[in-house]
């Protein structure tokens, strides 16, 4: 399928890149990316993926837009307060790029529905802010053999890593299990600088674009950590393989999806 004159103009800066070109742009237009969480991380990720021309973007979130979200969740505006986040996000994306089909999931993601939701997507972005949700996304992607990008932010710090089947460790390889309840403060309790969501969420979008176009090096086998106060990046090399991992190891003990504990819809 040839690109239209409008698409050639819209994506001209991509097409100029030798790593992308027309061929890469067609891959983006044919790709499907699921974003779980239309909050601080999911907002910039969704906007940059939409601007890049990712043809289908799924957005899963069961919350409504609140005034306190607007300090970092840039896909929403003041006029969106009270709307569902998936509706608000879809409206923003549709206004930004009509090439993109948005599939909204106004639902609580849990062990009963996540496998069916991720099934048709090429890449998954974790934009959640609670550990049970992050472990569930990891386990579902490992079992469904779906690549995904994990990220987390708090205060002035952020981190991200990417899982690709057979290419590196999963999230559970590194962290094992969720910490005890209330052991780690939430963004609501500890705060987060809004720009940190933009930095890390945009990098999640970049990981998705690189995966789709098969360019560059992904954060498989590495955790990238950013300290915004010191403006320091640290890339931590992770083990290539964790044989004892309970979900992707030699003898997995986790063979069915389950909810670690009752989750909320609260997203960064």
Copy the structure tokens of residue 54. Answer: 């990712």
Determine the Cα angle at 118 with ends 174 and 216, to 5°. 60
pTM, to two decimals: 0.94
pLDDT at 233: 97
Residues whose CB is less than 8 angstroms from the CB of residue 79 and which lie 6 or more positions away in sequence, other chains included: none
Stretches where the chain sits below pLDDT 50 are: 262-267
The predicted structure's pLDDT at residue 264 = 42
Q: Is 109 inside any structural domain?
A: yes
Strands 157-163 and 56-60: unpaired
Spacing of C-alpha 159 from chain mean position: 12
Residue 188: its pLDDT value, please?
77
Query: How many domains is the chain partitioned into structurally?
Result: 1
- pLDDT tens digit string along 221-247? 999 999 999 999 999 999 888 999 999
**Residue 186 within a domain:** yes
Distances 232 to 69, 157, 174, 228, 229 between C-alpha atoms, Å: 27, 10, 22, 7, 8
Q: Which range of residues forms the domain containing residue 77?
A: 12-237
For residue 122, being part of any structural domain is answered with yes
* Residue 129 confidence (pLDDT): 87
Tell me the per-residue pLDDT of 139-166, one tens digit each, with 9 for 90 and over: 999 999 999 999 999 999 999 999 999 9
Q: Is position 268 within any domain?
A: no
Four-residue CA torsion sign, 126, 127, 131, 137: negative
Angle at 26 between CA 23 and CA 27, to 5 degrees: 90
**Predicted pLDDT of residue 262:** 47
Residue 188 domain flag: yes
- The rounded Cα 218 to chain-centroid distance in angstroms is 14
* CATH number of the domain where residue 76 is located: 3.40.50.720
What's residue 208's pLDDT?
A: 98
Q: What is the pLDDT of residue 267?
A: 43
Adjacent-strand bridge partners of 33: 57, 123
Q: Is residue 170 part of a domain?
A: yes
21-30 and 194-213 helices, crossing angle to 10°: 110
């Amino acid at each position: 399928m040839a690109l239209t004159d409008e698409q050639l103009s819209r994506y001209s800066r991509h097409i100029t890149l030798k790593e992308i070109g027309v061929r890469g742009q067609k891959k983006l237009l044919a790709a499907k990316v699921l974003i779980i969480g239309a909050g601080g991380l999911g907002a910039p990720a969704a906007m940059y993926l939409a601007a890049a021309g990712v043809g289908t973007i799924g957005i899963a979130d069961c919350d409504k837009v609140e005034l306190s979200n607007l300090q970092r969740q840039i896909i929403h505006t003041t006029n969106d307060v009270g709307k569902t986040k998936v509706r608000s996000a879809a409206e923003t994306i549709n206004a930004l790029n009509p090439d993109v089909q948005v599939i909204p999931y106004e639902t609580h993601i849990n062990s009963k529905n996540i496998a069916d939701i991720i099934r048709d997507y090429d890449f998954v972005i974790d934009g959640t802010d609670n550990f049970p949700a992050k472990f569930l996304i990891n386990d579902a992607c490992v079992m469904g053999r779906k690549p995904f990008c994990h990220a987390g932010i708090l205060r002035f710090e952020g981190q991200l890593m990417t899982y690709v089947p057979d290419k590196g460790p999963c999230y559970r390889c590194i962290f094992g299990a969720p910490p005890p309840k209330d052991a780690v403060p939430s963004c609501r309790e500890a705060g987060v600088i809004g720009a940190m969501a933009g930095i890390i969420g945009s990098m999640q979008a970049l990981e998705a674009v690189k995966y789709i176009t098969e360019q560059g090096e992904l954060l498989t086998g590495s955790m990238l950590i950013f300290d915004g106060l010191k403006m320091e990046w640290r890339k931590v090399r992770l083990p290539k393989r964790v044989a004892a991992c309970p979900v992707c190891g030699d003898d997995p003990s986790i063979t069915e999806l389950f909810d670690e504990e009752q989750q909320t819809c609260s997203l960064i």
